[in-house]
Structure 1
Amino acid sequence: MSILSRLFGRPRDDEPPAREPERYKDYDIYPEPVRDGSSWRIAARIVKEVDGELKEHQLVRVDTLDEETAAVDASIGKARQLIDEQGDRLFD
């Protein structure tokens, strides 16, 4: 299964359940690392309500880590960095 189909397709039975978001500034960060062979690819979904509408940005990095917990932490860190650098321009 390709990485894109894993990111945007139906969840598989062996995939972990969705995690609770982490709140950062006015954004919700959903860490969603993707299994890539024996490693985990850094990925997260960044969500914010803007003018009553939910806006969403999908963050996917080529970086991989050996442990899922490390990938979750790195996904949150990269999402925070992106929020700090771009703010609401993420949704343009």
Structure 2
Amino acid sequence: MSFFSKLFGFSSSDKKEVEPKEEPVLYEGFAIVAAPDKADSGQWRLSGYIKKVSDNPDEPDMERFFLRADTFPTREEAVTFIYRKGRQIIDEQGKRLFANGEPTGRT
């Protein structure tokens, strides 16, 4: 372990495990990407992205991040509900999600 790691209290065990990325699910012209977050309680928090991929090379792709307080005992269950929540957000907000033209943001 390096001097700076000891000094600042970091160790190799402090690194978060990299979770496998989920395949995007296409819905109503948008892509929903599940990105469940491991909560301190050992459960999985509902979080993900809604992406709008532009066909025009002059326009940037856009994405919106969403995070909810809901937690689930397994990663698989969280992923299922992330896709459900993403579809709900798209149904409720549709094109308004990207109305401000900013390439990234939160819902």
Q: Does 1:31 align with 2:38?
A: no
Moved over 2 A (4+): 49-53
Q: Which runs of 5+ in 2 are unaligned?
A: 1-14, 101-107
Count of matched residue pairs = 81
TM-score, normalised to structure 2, is 0.69
Larger radius of gyration: 2
> Where does the alignment leave 5 or more consecutive residues of structure 1 unmatched?
1-11
TM-score after normalising by structure 1: 0.80
Over aligned residue pairs, what C-alpha RMSD do you find? 1.5
Matches within 5 A, 1:1-92: 14-37=17-40, 38-50=42-54, 52=56, 53-91=60-98, 92=100
Which structure: greater strand fraction? 1
Residue number in structure 2 paired with 1:5: none
Give secondary structure in 2 for the equivalent of 1:15: coil
Distance 1:59 1:33 in 2: 10
Opposite residue 32 of structure 1, the aligned amino acid is A
